[in-house]
Chains A and B, each alone.
Chain A
Amino acid sequence: MIDGSHDTSHTEDRAAPRPKEEKRAFAEEKASLWRITFGPAIWAIHFVASYGATAVFCAKFGHGTESILPFRLSVGAATLLVLAAIAWLGWRSWQQWGYLQTGDYENALANEEDRTEFLGHAAFLLSIVSFVGVIYTGLPVLFVESCR
């Protein structure tokens, strides 16, 4: 529950109205530390699932050098799905960062807008790393043809 919703403080932090004022109510819901871990968490789930599926499949059904094409295809398909999910997350965080509108790369100021954009920025970068990580994890099923 690492998010802002438990912020029970009554004291408000309202500086002068800012250009993105109307978007702020929405943006505050996005202020969660968890969210920046979603990308890598999807990588982790995909990684563990791929490893677990291979371990079980090869222990119970794989024999020597026999081809395991259907298995490889299913892991490949799952990998593409996961990549799509991370791409979507990346797109969402790119929007939350809002670099094209604000041109702000540092997000270093003491206000809610910069905090939200910073979290978007970090989440966006993490999505890229996770995306590359998932591609890496997918490579073995592309190249290795059996359970040997």
Chain B
Amino acid sequence: MTEETRAPRDLRPEGPYPPTEEMLAEPVPEDVQKGQRERLRAPWKTPEGWRYWSAVNNSEVGVWYTLTAFGFMLLAGILALLMRLQLAVPDNDILDADRFNQFFTMHGSAMMFLFAVPMFEAFSILILPAFLGARDMPFPRLSAYGYWSFLIGGVFVLGSVLFDAAPKAGWFMYPPLATEELGIGSDIWLLGLSFIEVASIAAAVELIVGTLKCRPPGMRVNMMPLYAWYVLVVGGMILFAFPPLIAGDFLFELERSFDWPFFDATRGGDPLLWQHLFWIFGHPEVYIVFLPSIAIAAMIVPTVAQRPIVGYSWIVLSAVGTGFLSFGLWVHHMFTTGLPTISLGFFSAASEAVVIPTGIQLFAFVATLMVGRVKMSLPMLWISGALAIFVAGGLTGVMLAIVPFNWQVHDTYFIVAHLHYTLFGGMVFPVIAGVYYFFPFIAKRILSERLGRIAFWLVFVGFNVTFFPMHIVGLEGMPRRVFTYPEGAGWGFWNMVSTLGAFVVAAGFAVFVYDLFRPKGHQGIIPRNPWRAGTLEWSHQIPDEAWGVRSIPYITSRYPLWDQEQIVERMDAGRYYLPDAETGERETLVTSVIDARPLHIQPVTGPAWITHVAAGFTGGAFIFPTFHLYPPAIVCAVLAVAAIIYWLWTSTARPPAQRMRDAGLGLRLPTYASGVNAPGWWGVWITMLGDATAFASLVFGFFFYWTARPDFPPEGALHAAPVWVALATGAFALSWGATVAARRVNRDGAEGRAMALLAGGAALTVLGGAAVILSVLALDPVSHVYPALMWALMVWLVAHGGVGLVMQLYCVAGLAAGKLTRDFDADLCNITLFWHFLALTAVTVGAVLGIAPRLFG
């Protein structure tokens, strides 16, 4: 068989791999280099003028994302300063109670949802491809969509402060306070932040796939930069931590909008379910924030010590171990809710156990510094400050994990002190260290050593002056979240000290911001690798080139710039892979998961406005319901879906002109992949893992009510109609079967039969959706939590069925238009994967609606 007749899935890379030293030593003629550079520069060119904002390249989106998150952080910081002013003296009246409540709620929410988590994603989008020697992330437009969604959602949520309409029930929104609260504050929180969480998950999917599939050839798992390991772990944690909160938000908003009583104890609901769902998210989230920041330290420490990290495996162990153990801590936020002592004991134990892996990574850093030749550079100064503060916060954490102590200081300023020590030490300081360290890479400029030291000492001293006294007033009994306190309480002195410290911190940040934005044109051309680091990002080019790397290197060391001679010269000369862009399109290399062998050449999407349109309408779909404006919300949702379909149809998984192409160094690679080799398939798989977690959280709700409430399901309650339930489950199962069969017959070349199967599947999907609606129609969701939960499961299944339906029709259209063919069936493989999950969802819903109540009733 020839190349042109074989299906692309049967095509294999051809040619020598790995490259020999002779191949690498052979110079590339200068005129060839020049031609390659010109051809490569064209597709990667950053748009100019107003079109600049249509860019999707990771270096542009990453910078916008980082600056936006940093801007939100500064605004949330201003809220904190205003609160400190109010608390400076007893019985103060600068802010009234209502405004104070809005401010502390927004301060916490913004710092967590608009700064800490997005900052990890923003920073990773910015620098991860460079660590991996990749041209870009695998799905650049998804990054851009995530960014614009984040911007819209963030401005909406934070903007509410200006209209005196901000949420005010605390950043964890406990019901019944938050469900009963009048006004739209809680809705803004729920819908605005859900919108941002979706964007966060999108970024996590992108980062995981990037780490697994876009590494340079030769970079096996034992050679990844530690940052990439942390990205994998944190991405995985986001997939399992955010969905429970999304499920919680879903139930919460159904209660706020339609009065379905999930958290209302008078109608069988239970406010504790929210606490569980929130903290299953909330505690891992602390580590989601902490791990990537410590990953920055793991990149800086070896450079400062000028030697490889000590205990690479130990750091991988601690990242993975912390990732897991951090999910066993959530109830330590709920020690005062009256759970059995044994249950508290489990969580107390896990909270102590997580200290072990966390401690190991800190010791590995200290060991590296001890055996290396350390120069106290500016980034290292910030890392040292981070370690000092984080260790202090960690130690109060060990105290708080002990149940009786926790009871004593629950909801006092001791907690405020603890959490700021962990977050400042575990996140703010390392991120600033990262800014100083990576600034020459990001901006091709150098920040001031002198200003940096001034900023450090202001922030470090100011931080301790602000937060250390909070331990004391906390132990003296000052509760958190009070807008004022009486003179007689005796807390006045320490509060004044804290307020003064807060302004010292602010002064430090002002110096830092000035240093970031002051003009630096006079610096001219800066050194390429100013810290003499060993990892790939320092092969960047000065002046800047938008292509990321000139050619994608072959890696044989954890620190290629230290160990592989001439690697930078050869990258520059285009000696390695993909040195050219013959087709005039953006491309990157996709490699295998474990050993990073080259698999195929992946086209990458370029600048677009469709992402803005999609993000804008998605925003409308989330924002209009805040004001109970449902018709415009529905219109927006439909338009958002239409925009996304247009985007996918026009730019993803299109049949390539050539099936195999030269990738450099004599290697020929396929230009198309479907199924398990395609990054898109991994994207679907990882997204659906998160989606399945959210669904599992809803099902957990059923068992939670059954455990916690004697009247669930209530005696004599009306159940879902068994015939309709059975019909719905059957229809979804058959539709799944039709989809799987369509993929198979399509591969045999029977495209017409595949279309018929998919169309039949679509009809079955509609039938299944209708049947599940009919099955619960007789139940009144307002009357009790049991029918409400049945309705919620129905809504979940119908929504997913809708997505499955669109996917089936998309593939019918693809087959009809020749976008999807026997040979180029990535779309069909991806939707089949989605349908595996949907079938599982449908069967589970069927079991919970139809069987479980009769079993447990």
Residues of A within 8 A of B (CB): 1-4, 6-13, 31-33, 36-37, 40-41, 43-44, 47, 50-51, 54-56, 58-60, 62, 106-110, 112, 114-115, 118-119, 121-122, 125-126, 129-130, 132-133, 136-137, 139-141, 143-144, 146-148
Contact = CB atoms under 8 A, between A and B. Distances in A.
B317 A136 contact: no
Interface string B188-215: 0000000000000000000000001000
B229 to A, nearest CB: 10
Given A47-B350, A129-B321, A118 B222 contact: yes
A1 B213 CA distance: 13
B677 A6 contact: yes
Given A11-B16, A55-B707, A58-B342, A107 B356 contact: no
Interface string B539-578: 0000000000000000111100000000000000000000
Contact of A108 (B308, B667, B707): B308
Interface residues of B, number: 59
A54 B343 contact: yes
Given A13-B18, A107-B313, A137-B346, A62 B223 contact: no
B345 A143 contact: yes
A13 B217 CA distance: 11
Given A43-B328, A108-B312, 16 more contacts: A1-B685, A4-B594, A6-B592, A7-B593, A12-B17, A33-B221, A33-B594, A36-B320, A43-B325, A47-B328, A54-B342, A108-B222, A122-B316, A129-B356, A133-B356, A140-B346
State the majority secondary structure of interface residues on A.
helix
Interface of B: 12-18, 212, 218, 220-223, 308, 312-314, 316-317, 320-321, 323-325, 327-328, 339-350, 352-353, 356-357, 555-558, 592-595, 597-599, 667, 676-677, 685, 707-708
B313 A125 contact: yes
Contact of A9 (B212, B312, B328, B592): B592
A62 B313 contact: no
Contact of A115 (B222, B323, B556, B708): B222
Contacts of B345: 139-141, 143-144
Contacts of A140: 341-342, 344-346, 348-349
10 nearest CB pairs, A to B: A140-B345, A118-B222, A40-B324, A11-B17, A125-B317, A136-B349, A110-B556, A10-B12, A9-B597, A4-B594
Given A36-B320, A143-B345, A144-B345, A108 B223 contact: yes
A13 B597 contact: yes
B675 to A, nearest CB: 9
Contacts of B221: 33, 115, 118-119
A136 B139 CA distance: 42
A30 B756 CA distance: 42
Contacts of B15: 11
A126 B353 contact: no
A37 B324 contact: yes
B595 A1 contact: no
Contact of B17 (A13, A43, A118): A13
Nearest to A12: B17
Contact of B321 (A7, A31, A126, A136): A126
B277 to A, nearest CB: 15
A8 to B, nearest CB: 6
B356 A7 contact: no
B13 A9 contact: yes
Contacts of A129: 317, 321, 325, 353, 356-357
Contacts of B343: 51, 54-55, 58
Contacts of A13: 17-18, 595, 597
B846 to A, nearest CB: 23
